[in-house]
Structure 1
């Protein structure tokens, strides 16, 4: 049984980015997070410990805005992957960081396609 402890919870944007990045990687069709390199028209697939570079978290008047830059697997249904991804990130942030899903705005940017093989 859990006990309620009075107080408030403050979670940094970097922690939110990490949670969102790991939630994204667990989704079917997502190969990894992407980083847009300045001055170059290509993207780089990020290693697991650098996920937050592919996630931009900012505060708005309505709540939090999260931009996910992802690389997806070739041949998957992009719309289904994006819907599943948004749902997974929203659920994970609600469970772990106690962030109200109604206060989240999640934007997904597909920066590249990659075959897993």
Structure 2
């Protein structure tokens, strides 16, 4: 069996464009958001509802709204935070994590991305 050295490997570059649907972007952003400290869950946006409804992890995009226009991409996250956390710090971390994850996975230019955080409720993690 032949052995290859690192210098022997050739990397293939594929030219073209990458098109990512808004649903996929929402899933990626939701995943990144749920990975952040202080985020209990995503708030499912129900029309006319007064109560907050936490979405199951399988439906991360329910709390994420994605819009694109000529200025770029806007991702709005509707989150439920853990009671007692520093909201400003969590929101800064959340914005940074979502932007980084979208750049790494979907190759979205951070200069073309706006992330809006909407805190819908505070809850205890165990309740």
TM bracket, shorter-chain basis: over 0.9
Tell me which structure has the larger Cα radius of gyration.
2
Q: 1:47 aligns with which of 41, 50, 56?
A: 56
**Counterparts of 1:1-117 in structure 2 under 5 Å?**
2-117=11-126
TM (normalized to structure 1)?
0.95
Q: Please give the per-residue CA displacement for 1:63-104, whole angstroms capped at 9, x wherever unaligned.
A: 100000000000000000000000000000000000001100
Deviation at 1:43, TM superposition (A): 1.2
Unaligned runs of 5+ residues in structure 2 are: 1-8
Runs of 4+ aligned residues of structure 1 deviating over 4 Å after TM superposition are: none
Unaligned runs of 5+ residues in structure 1 are: none
Q: How many residues align?
A: 117
Structure having the larger proportion of residues in strand: 1
Deviation at 1:61, TM superposition (A): 1.6
Tell me if structure 1 keeps the 8 A contact 2:83–2:123. yes
Deviation at 1:38, TM superposition (A): 2.1
TM (normalized to structure 2)?
0.88
